[in-house]
Amino acid sequence: MNMTADTFQRSCEHWSDSGRAEMEAFYELARVDYRYLAEAYSWTNWFNQRRDSALRLADIACGSGKFPEALLEFAGLDRLDDLNVRYDLLDPSEFSVREARQVLRAPFEAGEEFVCTLQDWKYAAGAYDIAWATHALYCVPAEELPVGLERMFRALQPSGLGFVAQGLRDGHYVAFYDVFRETFQAGGGTPYSDGSQVELALRELGAAVKSRVLNYTTVVPAKRKALLESYLQRCAFDDTVSLERMLTTEPLASYLAASYRQDRDEYHFRQRVGLSLFAHSDAGLTLRDREDEFTA
C-alpha cells in the first residue's frame, strides 16, 4: 500500500477488502477497546428511558461495527430487543459500511447509509436521538474537527445525545503515530487529531459537554512478532515499514524500547482515551438514575 499518501488516504486504503487480514489481526488486540466503551456509560438505562418511541441513531465513521457488537455483548442492549432503534451508518469506506451493517441485530435495525466523510455529510438537522463516533475521528484533521463535529451536533434533536471516544495525545494510538511520522516521514503528514481537540471543538460549538478519561494497557507478547508488526502497522496505516525497522530506527526505537517490559517479555502500550458526551443542554446529559454518573 502507498506509504507516500497522507493519513486519510492511507486510512481509506486500509479500510478495504485487501486490508481485512491486517484489520483482523489488529482487533485481536483492539476489540477490548470497545468493551471498555460499552461499559463506560449506562447505555441500557439511556435507551430504556426512551423506550416509548422509535429511535434514530447515527454511527459516525462506523468502521467494522465493533462498538455496536460490544454494546450487544457486554452492555446488555441485546435484552432490549423490543426497542426500535433505526441505526444509520456513515463512513467514507464502502467496505466499513458493509462490515458494520452485518453486525446489527435487535434492537438495532439497519437504516440509511452514508458513504462519505463526516465533513461532507448532508445531514438532516435535528433528526437523531443519538449519534456516536468511537475511535473514529483520528483521520479528521484537527482544523476540520469543528466542521465535522458541528454536523454531528446539529444532527441531534434538542434532547439528543452525542458521544465521541478518541485517544489522547499522550496515549498510545496518537503518540505512536506522532513518533512514527517523525521517524519515517521527517515529521510530515497529517497528525491524528485527539480527544482533547474533540472536546475543545465541542465546547467551542456551545455544546454542553461531560468528559472523562479511560486508562488501560494493551499488552502484546514480544514473541508474537507477526501480531506486534500488524498491530503497529495498523496503528500507522502503513504496512511498508517492517517491525525490524521500527525497532531499530530512532526515535521510534526508543518509544518501543520504553514500552517493552523485560520481566514479562511483553510490550505494554498505555492507552488514554478521552470520552465526551455532548448535548444541546446540561439536561440532555443527565440520566434520571443517580447511579448512572459518567465518572472516571
Ligand X SMILES: C[S@@+](CC[C@H](N)C(=O)[O-])C[C@H]1O[C@@H](n2cnc3c(N)ncnc32)[C@H](O)[C@@H]1O
Given 62, 155, 198, 220, the residue binding ligand X (CB under 6 A): 62
Sign of the Cα pseudo-torsion (235, 236, 238, 243, in order): negative
Which residues make Cβ contacts (< 8 Å) with residue 87, sequence separation at least 6?
57, 59, 68, 104, 108, 109, 110, 111
Between residues 119 and 286, which has the closer beta carbon with respect to ligand X? 119
**195 lies in the site for ligand X, by CB under 6 A:** no
Interface pick for ligand X out of 10, 15, 174, 230 (rule CB under 6 A): 15
**Using the rule CB under 6 A, which residue among 135, 151, 172, 272 binds ligand X?**
135
Stretch that binds ligand X, among 60-68, 151-159, 191-199, 280-288 (CB under 6 A): 60-68
Alpha-carbon span 80 to 30, nearest angstrom: 26
Q: Which is nearer to ligand X, 143 or 293 (CB)?
A: 143
Report the alpha-carbon distance of residue 120 to residue 127 in Å, rounded: 17
Out of 65, 160, 189, 274, the only residue in the binding site for ligand X (CB under 6 A) is 65
Report the b/e string of 188-209 with b at 16+ CB within 10 A.
Answer: ebbbbbbbbbbbbbbeebebbb
**Residue 9 vs 286, nearer CB to ligand X:** 9
For 125, other C-beta atoms within 10 Å of its C-beta total: 10
Of the residues 96, 183, 193, 276, which one makes contact with ligand X according to CB under 6 A: 96
Q: Which of 206, 73, 67, 63 is nearest to 139 (CA)?
A: 63
Could you give the angle at which helices 225-236 and 172-184 cross, rounded to 10 degrees? Answer: 80
Cβ of residue 220: shortest distance to ligand X, in angstroms? 18
Minimal distance, residue 97 CB to ligand X, in Å: 8
- Residue 33 within binding range of ligand X, rule CB under 6 A: no
Rounded least distance, CB 154 to ligand X, Å: 16
Rule CB under 6 A: which residues touch ligand X? 8, 11, 15, 34, 61-67, 91-93, 96, 117-119, 134-136, 139-140
